[in-house]
Structures are given as structure tokens and as C-alpha cells.
Amino acid sequence: MSQTKKQAILDTALDLFVENGIDGTSIREIAEGANTAEGNIYRHFKSKKDLARQLFLECANKFRSAFEDAIAHLDDPEKQVEAIVRAIFDFSIQRKREFAYILVVNHREEIINKNILSKPLPKDLFANILEDGIESGVFRPMDSTIAVAWIVGMVQRSFTFIQQGITTLPHDDVVEQTVDAALQMIKT
């Protein structure tokens, strides 16, 4: 199967999984959307679960790259947190489907298990930054993993409010206020 056909399958699966969920999407629908035969999907993926897993890894790697790019030239943990919060917002807009898919699949252990996850995960990079900030006294003592959950949850909810028109604030104002709130939450 050509890489182009494989990418068409991945793109179609991403659209359908985000729209209908993994369980609500059939291999037949993916094949029809990718303009290929069901058998072609099974030549590259063992099952729908395998396809969902590989798609998740692809999206997670893109998300991690966005984090790495955002902090590439920053040493200050506070500036790194600011950059990551902004990177989450940027990723959620520029790669809306991938972001939505990460949220859909994030807690499905049958899709993502510890053995298949690429390291470091985006949350691991973020937690390491927080730990460095805690160690240097920039951030207050806290569990870094829980702090990542607080901040990412805040960003996700803010993004949802923007997308659904719940807030009338301009996008840039929401980003700035979310960055400020994240830093206030973790600073000493």
C-alpha cells in the first residue's frame, strides 16, 4: 500500500473517530472515506484498535513536537510554562482534529497502554519543567503531574469556551488570562 493511501486511511479515520468516536466508526466507513477496500486497511493495520493506536501515537508525537519547539530556546521554567500554555492553544487551533482525537482517546487503556507510548509524553515534558521550577524555587511545592492536569484542563476548558462562543473575550485575551492564571496557580 502506498504511503499516500495509508495517509488517506489515517486522515479518514481521524475525521471519523473525532466525529463518531472509535466505537461508532466501522472499518467499512473508513475504507469508503479513504476510497479503498477494507482489505487494504488490514494490510497496514491489524485491527481498528491498532489503527486507533497508531493514529494516537502520530497525534501525540505532533503534540510533543509542538511543546519541544515552544521551549527550544528557553531556560527559565516560568517562560517555559508560558510557552507551553500558548503551544497548547496554538495546537488546539492549528491541529484541531489531532487535539480533539488526543482528548477522545487519552483515557482509553485498550487503545493506549504503557507499552506503546512514545517517550517522553507531552505531559512528561511539562511535568519536568514544573519539577525544575519547584527545585529552583520559582514554583511552589506540588505534585507536578497533578499541576499538569490543572493547567491542561484549564486550557482545554478555555479553548472549549472559545469554540462554543461561551466567552465573548477575544481569543488573545483568553490566552493571556489563561497564561496568567496558570502561573498564579503554580508560583511561590
Residues 36-54: tens digit of each pLDDT:
999 999 999 999 989 998 8
Give this prediction's pTM: 0.83
| Percent with pLDDT over 90 in the chain | 63
Q: Is the pLDDT of residue 107 over 70?
A: no
Q: 67-99 in b/e burial notation, b at 16+ Cβ within 10 A? A: beebbeeeeebbebbbbbbbbbbbbbeebeebb
Are residues 172 and 89 part of one domain? Answer: yes
The grid coordinates of residue 63 equal 503534540
- What is the model's pLDDT at position 64? 86
Q: Which domain holds residue 142?
A: 56-186
**Side-chain-side CA neighbours of residue 159 (13 Å):** 21
Same domain, 41 and 109: no
Residues 36 and 91 in one domain: no
pLDDT digits (tens, 9 = 90+) for 115-129: 555 667 778 889 999
Domain for residue 40, yes or no?
Answer: yes
CA–CA separation, 116 vs 111, rounded Å?
A: 9
The torsion defined by the Cα of 136, 139, 145 and 148, in degrees rounded to 10, comes to -130
**CA–CA dist 18, 62 (Å, integer):** 17
pLDDT in tens, 127-160: 999 999 999 999 999 999 999 999 988 998 898 8
Residues 40 and 62 grouped into a single domain: no
d(CA 150, CA 155): 9
Examine the pLDDT at 75 and tell me if it is beyond 60. Answer: yes
Looking at per-residue pLDDT, the higher value among 33 and 159 belongs to 33
- What end-to-end distance do the CA atoms of the chain give, in Å? 55
Q: Are residues 27 and 61 in the same domain?
A: no
The domain that holds 142 is classified in CATH as 1.10.357.10
Q: Is the dihedral of CA 62, 67, 160, 21 positive or negative?
A: positive
pLDDT of residue 123: 82
**Euclidean distance between CA atoms 19 and 97, whole angstroms:** 9
pLDDT of residue 17: 93
Q: What is the pLDDT of residue 188?
A: 85
The pLDDT mean for the chain works out to: 89
Query: Which residues are 187's β-sheet partners?
Result: 139
In the predicted model, what is the mean pLDDT of residues 88-98?
Answer: 91
- Structural domain count, the chain: 2
| Residue 13 banded pLDDT, cuts 50, 70, 90 | very high
